[in-house]
Amino acid sequence: MKKKVSIIIPVYNAEKYLTECIESVLNQKMQEIELIMIDDGSKDQSACIMKKYMCKYPDIIKCIFQKNQGQSAARNRGLEMAEGSYIVFVDSDDYIGPNYIKSLFEAADRYKSDMVLCDYTKVDEEGNILREYKANYEEKGIRIPSYISCNRIIKYELFHKYGIRYKEGVICEDIPAMLELEAVAKNIHVISMAEYYYRTNPSSTTSTLKKRNIKMNQLPFRALEECLEFYENNKKDPYDKKMEFFLCRIWTSLLFEVGRGASKNVRKNMCHEIEQFMDKYYPYYYKNPYVKLNYFKNMAKIQKWGTWAFVQAMHRHLLYPLTTICRWI
């Protein structure tokens, strides 16, 4: 049976939640799927769990076992193995509702979309629902998408035709990949469904970023420069006000989230590199109309004020003092 959707799960030390994650995929109401799991050098029992399911469902499940290379390398390896027309990413500590794949695929097929996004639900370690998050924010004709990989279905052809891959060796690898996909995807559709359950796991990559000592070479400066080059090569304008605003939001998030886990010197260098990046590519970022506090009426205050404070501080060369204050909030 031809597989219509390839579900890719990178796995690293996920024994606590992996069974629930796999079972949620096997319980999907859509049958024409394959599950590709990549163990990225786990030190716990994750590989054993994967092998057990692979033996039980050999027609559905493929497993790859590799030395630890990071989540990007694992996702890229999964893409190499995929046979489906569409790709869905799921993180190994998360899980999905039974209609998740079917609803995304049917929307992509009905609207002839290269990419379909949906809302997602944040849950705690025990799976208790905390709140729902929108797939993107839209107001006044401006759509601000979320840049996580796991709340969407993506046509495989985009990865193959344009050579899009996750940047290896950097943190926040979703951002450049999703920006590139946004540039070349024809007809992006959004559905109102929140059956992706995103777990707030203290051991997850996102959570540990705030605690570990980040190094400068892990930050995605070059990856984002390559992203701008990708836009130009595909005849898209990477320097319009919308992209400028997106990057202000991205840098804000990186500084206030990732920067908390960085040393004093790394935070200083990080602020300096961000200022240089924006001065080089977007020298008038401080005049961006979308940054003004009264432009978006319905945007969450923390997002609106956070981006505004970031821009004001950067324009006055006070970015590092701002991060020092925010580190203790």
Tens of pLDDT along 155-201? 999 999 999 999 998 888 899 999 999 999 999 999 999 999 999 87
Question: So where are the chain's domains?
Answer: 5-201, 216-326
| pLDDT score at 211 | 47
Checking DSSP bridges between strand 120-123 and strand 129-133, what pairing results, if any? antiparallel
> What's the CA gap between 148 and 88, in Å, rounded?
12
Residues of the chain short of pLDDT 70, as ranges, are: 1, 202-213, 260-261, 326-329
> What's the CA gap between 17 and 122, in Å, rounded?
15
| pLDDT score at 183 | 93
CB contact set of 228 (below 8 Å; sequence gap of 6+): 238, 239, 281
Paired with 262 in beta bridges are: 214
> What's the CA gap between 110 and 97, in Å, rounded?
21
Q: Quote the CATH superfamily of domain 5-201.
A: Spore Coat Polysaccharide Biosynthesis Protein SpsA; Chain A (3.90.550.10)
Name the nearest CA neighbour of 35 among 49, 309, 295.
49
> What's the CA gap between 256 and 259, in Å, rounded?
6
| pLDDT score at 208 | 47
- pTM here is 0.92
